[in-house]
Structure 1
Amino acid sequence: MPQKLKVAVAQARTCPSLSATLSSLERVTRNAAAQGVSLLLFPEAYLGGYPRTCDFGTAVGARAPHGREQFLRYFQDAVDLGDTPTGAGDDWVERKLPVAKGSDRRGDGTREFLERVSRETGVFIATGVIEKAGGTLYCSALYVDPNSGVLGKRRKVMPTASERLIWGQGSPSSLKAVTTVLNGVKLTIAAAICWENFMPLLRQSLYSQNVNIYLAPTADSRDTWLPLMRTIGGEGRTFVLSANQCVRYRELPPWITDHAEKEGTALEGDQYISRGGSSIVGPLGEVLAGPIWETCVDDVLESSKSGEFSGEDGLLIQEIDVEDCERGKLDMDVAGSYSRSEFKLTVEGLDLNPPPF
């Protein structure tokens, strides 16, 4: 039986509010579904936002009051998925955590919104989320299945550079892959977020689970990102989907730009602070779609007359044959035949065996 399906990446940007971003996500997902897409990836920090250019009033040994106000606004814009600060794992996924009196759910309703959109469209949604739990923010990736709802969630284990000021570290145990069947095709899916992809041992922890869909939501818009995605595709014999935001300075939230203008450090309004670079790569390292630059799917939501958009309009769609991953294992399986028994990787709290279906 053919193991083909359509996958897509959305080069989108965070809207001025969470409700507006969720509305945009729904419209993009419905458009993708109309074009036969079964799995759709949105960028890192898509829900909640990636606060580019903002230093939150910090320097080594000093914090300014305006930076605390900026963090307050950022915290308020983040998503409450109803999880615990330490991460409740399967208990959170399976809704076993207690809820408050008079409530039928945990969190702010974002989880339920995404589950509804996935169910109604038949599209598996993977998206970056800035998640708040207790008093800490986490950069997370969420997996939403059209039949089972949320299958899992993972938090970035190593925020990069100044990200460490505003985001906590997630547990490596959440690197566990998830499995699903879409249009009769068996998929093993996992995500590495942005510069986690530069971590060889983290990549190996995903290869060991025999992933055939490797998700790489990112904020890296350099032209050096694509070679890394090609390396991962060929190294892991997996399809790689990478989605980035495409953002101009004027599209950042006012709590960032207003202070910069007050201090005289604002950039030009139409200057790109992230040019995108989203792509889809095959299991031999070949580029199947993209990269696309300086175009955003949100820009055509209002202007599209046909109601459909793709490619240069910020939505990359590609039909893939998942059996290509197995074809590639003829001469390369870095967790199996192309490895040495003397080299072993263990991750505390994480079973590296391929998950069962």
Structure 2
Amino acid sequence: MALVPVPPIHDGPLFPEVDMGAEPSAPTVRATVVQASTVFYDTPATLDKAERLLAEAAGHGSQLVVFPEAFVGGYPRGCTFDFGVTIDNRTAKGKEEFRRYHASAINVPGPEVDRLAAMAGKYKVHLVMGVIERDRYTLYCTVLFFDSQGGYLGKHRKVMPTALERIIWGFGDGSTIQVFSTQIGKIGAAICWENRMPLLRTAMYAKGIEIYCAPTADARPIWQSSMTHVALEGGCFVLSANQFCRRKDYPPPPEYVFSGTEEELIPDSVVCAGGSVIISPSGSVLAGPNYDGEALISADLDLGEIARAKFDFDVVGHYSKPEVLSLIVRDHPTKPVTFTSASEKTHEGAHK
């Protein structure tokens, strides 16, 4: 596992006492984005790999570790991504592929979430983990958040899956557009192409996000432009984590076939090139992008940089024009079925 080195940081308390006669200084947070592949169709092995990577990052002083989109459960590249779907038909093979993918997903809450929480507490790191969440028979592309004491903070479900993702993943609602206050700053996430949705980003900025996590599956060089724009627009640190995958990280054919390209692939062929990166609120690249292989990519985040950037441009503060432009966010859960008990109906009828 390659590690991108960063300079050492002070080993004292995160928020040291400040001599009032001296110039106050902002805290520094060491952050790591993980660029690594899922063990596809093997969730226990993926969790074991996640713990090894988390332990390595913690050993280098990381206080925050961000994993890629769908790290637990897997991102289904290639032909299995359509699960045998055509307009009016589902193939038997595609249905079986979905059954296996569904079996690799995790319940939230559930034993895998408990294990992730224990890992965060054991290594004393804040953890942001991309998972495939199973809610009965619907799957969601989700990010889970944990604090360094092993506490589960909450989740974000991808609001708008992209293209064929909509066949296999459900749609999140406004209730999981969240920003969590932690000892190291205010942390939240938008997943992959959600980061191209201006109104979703604006909601995150309004919630005060300082460390903006962007787990993704997009390895194209143009993704770097989006990440730089988010950092500048939001005046926040952007941490984008992507998987680095080779053909051999997926099951071999005929169990798993990459549509249209399988005959061109060898086991070491790269099918996702990574590009994980850390960017400052001023738009400076602090670490990455890395396209070389699996890696831990780390940087020290000077949280004072947020205030310096906001002095130039505060998108929901002094640079907003609420009398001209405004946004309404419906941040409550939406449910397909709502039950009203018989006693409530009787009570309502008595007052009519």
The bucket for the TM-score relative to the shorter chain is 0.7 to 0.9
> What is the match of residue 268 of structure 1?
265
SS of equivalent to 1:179: strand
Structure 1 residues 1-357: aligned runs within 5 Å: 1-16=25-40, 17-53=42-78, 54=80, 55-82=82-109, 107=110, 109-147=111-149, 149-182=151-184, 187-254=185-252, 258-260=255-257, 265-269=262-266, 270-296=268-294, 314-341=295-322, 342-349=324-331
CA distance change for structure 1 residues 280 and 263 in 2, over 3 Å: closer, same or farther? closer
Deviation at 1:323, TM superposition (A): 1.3
* Letter of the 2:255 counterpart: D
Distance 1:194 1:70 in 2: 23
Q: Given the two structures, how large is their TM-score scaled by the length of structure 2?
A: 0.83
* Letter of the 1:34 counterpart: G
Consecutive unaligned residues in structure 1, runs of 5 or more: 83-106, 297-313, 351-357
Deviation at 1:316, TM superposition (A): 0.6
Deviation at 1:253, TM superposition (A): 3.0
1:169-188 residue CA offsets vs partner (Å, 9 max, x unmatched): 01122112111104xxxx11
Distance 2:193 2:209 in 1: 19
Identify the range of structure 1 (116-125 vs 16-25) with the bigger mean alpha-carbon deviation. 16-25
CA distance change for structure 1 residues 262 and 45 in 2, over 3 Å: closer, same or farther? closer
CA contact (8 A) 1:257 1:266 kept: no
Distance 2:150 2:260 in 1: 49
CA contact (8 A) 1:193 1:216 kept: yes
Consecutive unaligned residues in structure 2, runs of 5 or more: 1-24, 333-352
Distance 1:143 1:228 in 2: 23
Distance 1:280 1:257 in 2: 38
* Letter of the 2:314 counterpart: D
1:299-350 residue CA offsets vs partner (Å, 9 max, x unmatched): xxxxxxxxxxxxxxx1111011111101111110000101102211111126
CA distance change for structure 1 residues 209 and 246 in 2, over 3 Å: closer, same or farther? same
TM superposition outliers: structure 1 runs of 4+ over 3 Å: 261-267
- Aligned-residue CA RMSD (Å): 1.9
CA contact (8 A) 1:188 1:210 kept: yes
Deviation at 1:245, TM superposition (A): 0.4
CA contact (8 A) 1:249 1:267 kept: no
* Letter of the 1:225 counterpart: W
CA distance change for structure 1 residues 121 and 72 in 2, over 3 Å: closer, same or farther? same
Identify the range of structure 1 (276-285 vs 11-20) with the bigger mean alpha-carbon deviation. 11-20
* Letter of the 1:174 counterpart: T
CA distance change for structure 1 residues 39 and 262 in 2, over 3 Å: closer, same or farther? closer
> What is the match of residue 89 of structure 1?
none
Distance 2:44 2:307 in 1: 41
* Letter of the 2:317 counterpart: G
Deviation at 1:251, TM superposition (A): 1.4
Deviation at 1:123, TM superposition (A): 0.7
CA contact (8 A) 1:260 1:266 kept: no
Deviation at 1:271, TM superposition (A): 2.0
CA distance change for structure 1 residues 267 and 340 in 2, over 3 Å: closer, same or farther? same
* Letter of the 1:118 counterpart: A
Distance 1:32 1:170 in 2: 30
Deviation at 1:45, TM superposition (A): 0.2
Identical columns (%): 41
1:277-318 residue CA offsets vs partner (Å, 9 max, x unmatched): 00000001111110000301xxxxxxxxxxxxxxxxx11110
CA contact (8 A) 2:35 2:274 kept: yes
SS of equivalent to 1:37: coil
* Letter of the 1:138 counterpart: Y
Higher Cα Rg, which structure: 2
CA distance change for structure 1 residues 65 and 175 in 2, over 3 Å: closer, same or farther? same
CA contact (8 A) 2:177 2:331 kept: no
